[in-house]
A and B are shown apart, each in its own frame.
Chain A
Amino acid sequence: MTHPASATRNRVFVISGLGVALLIGVFLSPFASQNPDGLDRVAQDLKFDKKATEAPPAHKLPFYKVFDEYALRGVPKPLATPLAGFLGTLATFGLAWGVGKLTKRGSAPSDEASPIE
């Protein structure tokens, strides 16, 4: 069912799609608007922003030692957000692929693994 030509076209789509995402994460992220975002703005205007937990659970995770929100720690500032964008985009790609792969593993034979299709 999977023709070699369409397999190649799919591969091209996946690689270029990931490439576009990485370009956005690396080169556009430094230009993101620094204005407060929707909920953030409302929280400030209505004065409930202080209700946010000072030391949220995420700060106890090892990732907090590596990333300060969308900034990689320990690198010069101009690189911090682009590198966080690069690593975050790759991690999201890999995790979603992995979730899909694991979900499909328990089901009927795959068209990659099985020569029948």
Chain B
Amino acid sequence: MNFLLLSTRLLPRGLNYAFQPRLAMHVPDGFLNAPVLALTWLISIGLIALALNRVQAEYQDRAVPLMGVCAAFVFAAQMINFPIPGGTSGHLLGGTLAGALLGPWAGSLVMAVVFIVQGVVFQDGGITAMGANIFNMGLIGTFGGYYLLRTIRYVIGRDKLSGMIAGTAVAAWLSVVAASIFCALELAISGTVPLNVALGAMVGWHMLIGIGEALITVATVTFIWRTRPDLLYRSPRRAIANPPCSLSTR
């Protein structure tokens, strides 16, 4: 290769090029065995098919451009690794954010698109492991994160920003920790690393990374609540009182 290409390969800390610090929680090809790959693909494809149906049946057309914006934002934000104490880094996963903005159905489609672009175009996350990555980093947030968020929000009050913030913070943090637990389980079942070792290591780091996830998700959701509350999925009722109503009502 030419000199220019070589220079891009001078990575810090002498890391092997193949393991350039971009993997994130993105599982590469080779870490998971065939049964785990097959199962995670099945679950992800099933939920995506369900999401396609629900988006077709329930969402307004004006949700479509918002899906584009949400996907673009999550993709760009995932590029920005923030340092966490101990020489590691983390980045936004975005599943809970997509769920909070667009609801679980359109949110899941958005997250699937992000991981497809990352895996196919940018070699980030294995192609064979894409089902696992979509499930771990996307669907856990868009479904688990979203429904937890909604429960907490409705308990405090649907029309209260404080409820939205509390629900978003808890759901975003927990979705990252849950993702790391599932990732550890998948690695262990695949025989890549013993479960107790994987769990301890993954969950420890991701309890810290989850704080970043919660901060970014809360900041973004709060900004949209203040500027365009009508665009939120299950928007506060004062926003629905005015013409452009919630994305989910036709």
- Name A residues whose Cβ lies closer than 8 Å to a Cβ of B: 1-3, 6, 9-10, 13-14, 17-18, 20-22, 24-25, 28-29, 31-46, 48-49, 51-54, 56-59, 61, 63-64, 67-71, 73-74, 76-77, 80, 84-85, 88-97, 99-101, 103-104, 106-108, 110-112
> With A48-B193, A51-B192, A96-B109 as given contacts, are A38 and B126 in contact (CB-CB < 8 Å)?
no
Please determine whether A93 and B22 come into contact, CB atoms closer than 8 angstroms: no
Most buried by B among A3, A52, A71: A52
20 contacting pairs across A/B (C-beta < 8 A): A14-B65, A21-B75, A25-B75, A34-B89, A36-B89, A37-B90, A40-B22, A41-B205, A52-B28, A58-B120, A58-B127, A69-B123, A74-B4, A77-B4, A88-B76, A88-B118, A93-B72, A103-B55, A104-B64, A108-B250
Chain B nearest CB, measured from A88 CB (Å):
6
B157 within 8 A of A: no
Taking CB as reference atom, which chain A residue is nearest B27? A39
For B205, what are the chain A residues with a Cβ–Cβ distance below 8 Å? Answer: 38, 41-42
Chain A nearest CB, measured from B89 CB (Å):
4
Please determine whether A111 and B62 come into contact, CB atoms closer than 8 angstroms: yes
Please determine whether A45 and B72 come into contact, CB atoms closer than 8 angstroms: no
Taking CB as reference atom, which chain A residue is nearest B74? A92
Which of B62, B79, B88 makes the CB contact (< 8 A) with A35?
A: B88
> With A38-B180, A56-B123 as given contacts, are A22 and B76 in contact (CB-CB < 8 Å)?
yes
> With A10-B62, A36-B88, A52-B19 as given contacts, are A93 and B71 in contact (CB-CB < 8 Å)?
yes
Please determine whether B117 and A91 come into contact, CB atoms closer than 8 angstroms: yes
Most buried by B among A24, A73, A85: A24
Chain A binder among B37-45, B144-152, B161-169, B196-204: B196-204
For B209, what are the chain A residues with a Cβ–Cβ distance below 8 Å? Answer: 38
B244 within 8 A of A: yes
Please determine whether A45 and B201 come into contact, CB atoms closer than 8 angstroms: yes
Query: How big is the B interface, by class?
Result: 35 or more
- Render B1-45 as a binary contact track against A, CB cut-off 8 A, 1 for contact: 000110110011101101111111111111100000000000000
Which of B7, B24, B113 makes the CB contact (< 8 A) with A37?
A: B24
Chain B nearest CB, measured from A7 CB (Å):
8
For B192, what are the chain A residues with a Cβ–Cβ distance below 8 Å? Answer: 48, 51
Q: How far is the CA of A20 from the CA of B220 in the complex (A)?
A: 12
For A53, what are the chain B residues with a Cβ–Cβ distance below 8 Å? Answer: 28-30, 126
For A69, what are the chain B residues with a Cβ–Cβ distance below 8 Å? Answer: 20, 22, 122-124
B116 within 8 A of A: yes
Taking CB as reference atom, which chain B residue is nearest A34? B12
Q: How far is the CA of A48 from the CA of B186 in the complex (A)?
A: 14
B77 within 8 A of A: yes
B69 within 8 A of A: yes
Which of A24, A67, A71, A76 makes the CB contact (< 8 A) with B121?
A: A67
Q: How far is the CA of A89 from the CA of B121 in the complex (A)?
A: 12
Q: How far is the CA of A51 from the CA of B69 in the complex (A)?
A: 36
